[in-house]
Amino acid sequence: MSELIFDLPDGTTVAVTVIRLLNGGYAGREQEEVAAHVAELAELGIPAPAVTPALYPVAPYLAAQVDGVPVQHGRTSGEAEWALVVAGEAPGDLLLTVACDHTDRELEVHGVAWSKNAGLDVLGRGAWRLVDVEDHLDDLRLRAWVAQDGGPEQLIQDAPLAALLPPRFWLDELGELLVPGTVLLSGTVAMLPGVDQFADRWRVELADPVTGALLELSYAVERMPEPIG
């Protein structure tokens, strides 16, 4: 398990002990968007899912609010997402934050569920109550940038939340599975062509054009030493 602390716009903080971590996958509302993401992964040798949307249970300790993600090799990649955090039983305890599912692409070729358990799910330190943004949820915008070797950032993902299945879909579909202490990541949107996803840094933001508010996270991809033996 891991302990997460979220800062809310009213100045309060909410602590959540993660007991269940779920990763949605192939969760675009438009099948063209889903097909584009499947095609991206096919280029990396990753087989298409049997059904969409998909859902992958992940070890709870992999939910983290960190500035660095350790990796074993150079073929790992982030994925810009929103995350639903079930902080309690009341409707006001459903929190929305920005997230990045850092995935081992080498392992993903052998099994998506395995790859999801080989990297951290990075979450932002700020959050909004879902009830405060749900009436204009589709207008929120998810963007991600990558940087290589200290170079300039490049935009790699950019889409409104209307491109993804909304939190309410998962709440209705999963019901009692979403107990307090659950964190659910949304699945991601297609990456822009021509941008190298195997980057040294990732930055992801979730922007609210109605209020001007912004949730953001960023982290360095930190290569671990080579194994001995």
Peptide bond into 53 cis (omega under 30): yes
> Per residue in 110-165, pLDDT tens?
888 888 898 999 999 999 999 999 999 999 999 999 999 889 999 999 999 999 99
What is the value of pTM for the model shown?
0.92
Encode pLDDT of 7-49 as tens digits: 999 999 999 999 999 999 888 887 666 777 677 767 777 777 7
Residue 42 to residue 93: CA distance in whole angstroms: 38
User: 23 — phi, psi (to 5°)?
Assistant: -115, 115
| Strand-pair category, 76-77 with 103-104 | antiparallel
What span, in angstroms and rounded, lies between the C-alpha atoms of 39 and 61?
Answer: 30
Amino acid identity of 84?
Answer: L
**Mean per-residue pLDDT for 66-84?**
96
Considering the chain, what is the average pLDDT of its residues?
A: 92
